[in-house]
Amino acid sequence: MILGYAGKFLDIDLSTQTIKETKFSDEILKDYMGGRGLATKILWDRLGAKWETVDPLGPENLLLLLTGPLTGFYPGGRTCVSGKSPQSNGVVGSTLSGEFGVELRCAGYDGIIVTGESEKPVYLFLKDSDVELRSASDVWGKDGKQTVSVLTRECRGLLGTRYPKYGEWKEPAMLYVGPAGENKVRTAVVSSKWAHAAGYGGYGAVMGSKNLKAVVAKGTGPLPEVADIKKVKRLMDTVCNNVYEGELWRRWGTGGGGYEFGHKTSSEPIRNWQEEWHDEKGYGVDKFENRLWMKPYWGDFGCPTTCLKLAVVKTGKFKGAITDNPDYEMQAYLGPNLGIFIPEENVFLASLLDDLGLCGIQTGNVMGFAAELFQEKILTKKDLDGLELKWGDAEAFATLAKKIAYKENIGETLAEGTYRAALKIGKLKKMDLLPYAVQSKGISIGAHGIRSGQDFPDIISYACSVQCGDHTSLASLPLDGGGETMQIFNDSGVYCNFNSFGVPRKIRFDFYRAVTGLSLTREEWCFTNALRILQLQRIMLLLGGPDLTWNPKIHDDNPSRFYTPLPTGPYKGKAAHKAEVEEYKHRYYEAVGWDKNGIPTAKILRKLGLKDVEKALERISYD
């Protein structure tokens, strides 16, 4: 057995309510590591043969909650949520922070594989190897904060009764879905601790479709044994010291972004990306810090960065709203993107979306899309049940968010996500509405634009990414640079990106070697392991189905808005150029071993040891 792994995975079939343990061979763990990598492998092995027909929201889809060998060791442990995505019909490795991954590994498991569909709402409760499915009828329909309260109370009570002489139990870790997940909204998230969410991919809907409200874990054992404990401790110190020096992240997290990415880099979505520049000083981080942050440092277990800040609205109309920072993505998508430039209103919307279990990025994007259609008079007051969706009206957007979460009237259409909503409304209005949809292959684009050229994504980052609009997995060249392949490493080792900024890549591979005792070099990872994961993700994305498939010739592209020149700001007039994108795209295709149509070649698959996948190439269709 490879060191650094607990060695066991839980395999749960909700249809038959059976709980089994399963293992993966050393070769698989060595090749795919964990998290996103292993998720790709599991999905391919179990669903690959019938991928096109698997309904992401049906019982045959898998919900994967996986950790990696570095979870709990590398500071800032996370959990990777995956499955067939109801947004892209491909695979997204969506990670969220919190103690869940660490508790799970201390309980003796590296991950949980959930399949089937429970007849009644259930939640999974595990304390070490005692695993049980319990009725969730008490919490079904409850919002995020209520779910956490009720289940924490219930599970601590259970632990107290079962182990009366233990003393006070620290609360177990929990992943859960809100009402949006229960209602299978495609922009729903899997959440933890009120404000953390695995957003990209829409796995809240997958969890909800299985009638699984929550997974609660308590582990009392130690983390798995590692190869060189002294070295691991030394490396942990190195990473922590690096973080302690970066005072900016600790103090403000990404909270400064709401102003900076608009003002300095001109890459913030404003009114559904009609603009990307603003100079609203009232939206600066100082306003958030002085007026809203009740706690300057809020972090999860073992995290030296603590980029979270506890934001509470204390007075006024939105009194009682609680969320984290909000971080930059929430600040942007639930702020300027909806024409909102008041910190309190932003916190209110972020808090509401946390409660409903909606993804701030995906839902912020689709609400911005709807508001622009209202601005253009394509959607009328009548279409929106009397709602006047004016830019900057936080309460109107709150009403719309609730409609989306509960799938009421127009909400039912918008709950399908921006791309599907654009097709559906377009059909109704007999117009092409895709120019208003700022997304890539079904997934809304992260709040980092490419037009000004000043932000970190490249012009092909979203167009060619196997995780589509995901701003944390960006296609880029060179392959062994700090981009996509290293992001696959973070998501497969399953720890936080933010603790890897400024940490030399060598340290991260040293970490892997010290934990597992295996050898792995940067070259091996970037040109073999990561590339193998990338090919599998790409093939499953191109197979797609059942409702939508992607044609790389059409869909490996930026949203058309990114080709429209920026109307304002210091980078006015700048835009992405189609010819440049095409040229870069083909260089990228070549580097990752895809043909000119963007399909992985048999040659690269054979080289990476994916011979069995070759046959699937015949199944990739173009319409």
Partner 1 sequence: MLVPGLEFPHLCAQCEDYPCVKSCPVKALSISEKTGAVLVDNKICIACGQCIDACPGRVPHMHPKEKYIVICDLCNGNPQCVKVCQEGSWNVLRVVERGDEPYRLYARKPDEITKDLAAKIYGEGGGEYL
Residues that bind partner 1 (CB under 8 A): 145, 148-149, 152-153, 156, 163-168, 170-171, 193-195, 220-221, 240, 244, 294-295, 297-298, 304, 310, 312, 314, 319-320, 322
Helix (H, G, I), strand (E, B) or coil at 368: helix
Q: What sign for the dihedral angle of Cα 336, 339, 343, 349?
A: negative
Q: CB of residue 171 vs partner 1: minimum separation in angstroms? A: 5
Phi-psi region of 3 (alpha: psi -120 to 50; beta: other; left: phi over 0): beta
Residue 530 to residues 276, 491, 525, Cα–Cα distance (Å): 33, 11, 6
- In whole angstroms, give the CA distance from residue 242 to residue 236: 10
Q: Is 167 or 386 the residue whose CB approaches partner 1 more closely?
A: 167
Q: Is 168 or 618 the residue whose CB approaches partner 1 more closely?
A: 168
Q: CB of residue 217 vs partner 1: minimum separation in angstroms? A: 14
Q: Is 320 or 546 the residue whose CB approaches partner 1 more closely?
A: 320
In 483-529, which ranges are continuous DSSP H helix?
A: 484-493, 505-516, 522-524
Q: Is 220 or 375 the residue whose CB approaches partner 1 more closely?
A: 220
Q: Is 191 or 265 the residue whose CB approaches partner 1 more closely?
A: 191
Q: What sign for the dihedral angle of Cα 165, 170, 175, 177?
A: positive
Query: Which of 12, 70, 76, 11 lies closest to 36, judged by CA?
Result: 70
- In whole angstroms, give the CA distance from residue 178 to residue 189: 8
Is the peptide bond preceding residue 59 cis, with omega within 30 degrees of 0? no
Q: Is 163 or 501 the residue whose CB approaches partner 1 more closely?
A: 163
Q: Is 238 or 560 the residue whose CB approaches partner 1 more closely?
A: 238
Q: CB of residue 303 vs partner 1: minimum separation in angstroms? A: 10
Helix (H, G, I), strand (E, B) or coil at 207: helix
Contacts (Cβ under 8 Å, ≥6 apart) of 146: 139
How many Cβ atoms from other residues are within 10 Å of residue 489's Cβ? 28
Helix (H, G, I), strand (E, B) or coil at 62: coil
Q: CB of residue 202 vs partner 1: minimum separation in angstroms? A: 23
Q: Is 292 or 466 the residue whose CB approaches partner 1 more closely?
A: 292
Cα 417–Cα 422–Cα 424 angle in degrees, nearest 5: 95
Q: Is 81 or 174 the residue whose CB approaches partner 1 more closely?
A: 174
Q: What ranges make up the beta strands (E) of 265-368?
A: 293-298, 308-312, 322-323
Q: CB of residue 170 vs partner 1: minimum separation in angstroms? A: 8
Q: CB of residue 353 vs partner 1: minimum separation in angstroms? A: 16
Rounded to the nearest 10 degrees, the angle between the axes of helix 343-356 and helix 360-375 is 120
The structure tokens listed for 253 are 């997290």
Q: CB of residue 289 vs partner 1: minimum separation in angstroms? A: 15
The structure tokens listed for 2 are 């490879």
* φ and ψ at residue 77, rounded to 5 degrees: -75, 150
- In whole angstroms, give the CA distance from residue 22 to residue 20: 7
Q: CB of residue 344 vs partner 1: minimum separation in angstroms? A: 14
Q: CB of residue 235 vs partner 1: minimum separation in angstroms? A: 15
Q: Is 19 or 310 the residue whose CB approaches partner 1 more closely?
A: 310
Q: CB of residue 294 vs partner 1: minimum separation in angstroms? A: 5
